[in-house]
Amino acid sequence: MKLTQYKKASVLALSAVLIAACGEDEAKTESVDEQKLSSLVKQTNYSTNFPPLFSDVIWGSTLDQQGTVRFDAAEQIPLYYVSKDGSNPPAVISNAVNTIEARLGNIFSDFTLVTEDLSVYRDNSLAHENVGNGSFNANEFKNSHGILGGLVIAQGTGFYSKGFSDSPQNMCANASMAPYDGSMALLIDPTSYTYAGDTLLWVNMGNGQCSWDSDIVVHEMAHAMGMYNHLDGYFGSWSTTAMDILATLYGNPAGTAYSSLVIKR
């Protein structure tokens, strides 16, 4: 069973996520009790329809998820920034990384700068949309830049399709498996409940027709890190409770049963 079989359904699911991603926070600084926080970790991390989780190397078996899934943080998560000229990430991105590390510790490597013109993967026939042309190959990209897995951030590559929203601001950024792409499926090591070591996820910031800030960068990084589902009022752009959820997710071993989580504030 090949991963590409799931792309259409995954695009649809993720796009529904994106439409809500730029909403106003109704409870940006609200703190919730431990029982509520534990339930919110499950609500955001437990996968029902999105993203599909698989447990073997041929993407054939659906994972029977019994606890948390996330990146393996035993070592630093490799972090990449892609640009046409090999430039450093702007402050709006580096500040987002610093915000996460202020709570989770030195969880990411320093940025590795990757020089590539990602616009070659955009479908330029759709002038008012921001979608891929089908030419991106993840293995070729990784091999050409000596990348195994981790988290890659790029600008201007956010998936936007009028088929999901008339407003590019409502689909300003996303986490996915490729630039200009709205799909995600994850291979999980069933013994550790962490992402497979060669998992490379993209944080695509901006579609050329919208504005975004550091909170939205944190939001999309959190999607890639395991906060898959939105939580009304707590996971709009970003909030105190959202950070507590992410800290709890990474402050407990992957695979921890949701009823056994030790809350981290």
E-strand spans in 127-245?
150-155, 173-176, 186-187, 200-205
Instruction: Flag whether 265 is in a domain.
Output: no
Task: Calculate mean pLDDT across residues 143-172.
Answer: 96
pLDDT of residue 2: 34
Q: Is residue 261 part of a domain?
A: no
- The tally of domains found in the chain comes to 1
For residue 258, is it within any domain? Answer: no
Looking at residue 23, what is its pLDDT? 40
Residue 116 lies in a domain: yes
The arithmetic mean of pLDDT across residues 196-208, rounded, is 97
> Is residue 262 in some structural domain?
no
Q: Is residue 105 part of a domain?
A: yes
- What is the reported pLDDT for 9? 36
Whether 263 maps to a domain, the answer reads no
Mean pLDDT on 110-132: 96
- For residue 259, tell me if it sits in a domain: no
Instruction: Decide which of 48 and 158 is more confident.
Output: 158
Query: Of 215, 226, 222, whose CA–CA distance to 193 is shortest?
Result: 226
Mind giving me the DSSP string for 100-111? HHHHH-S-EEEE
Query: What CATH number does residue 198 fall under?
Result: 3.40.390
* Residue numbers of the domain that contains 207: 3-62+70-253
**Rounded Cα gap, residues 98 and 95, in angstroms:** 5
């009028």: which residue's tokens? 162
Question: What is d(CA 247, CA 220) in angstroms, rounded to the nearest whole number?
Answer: 15
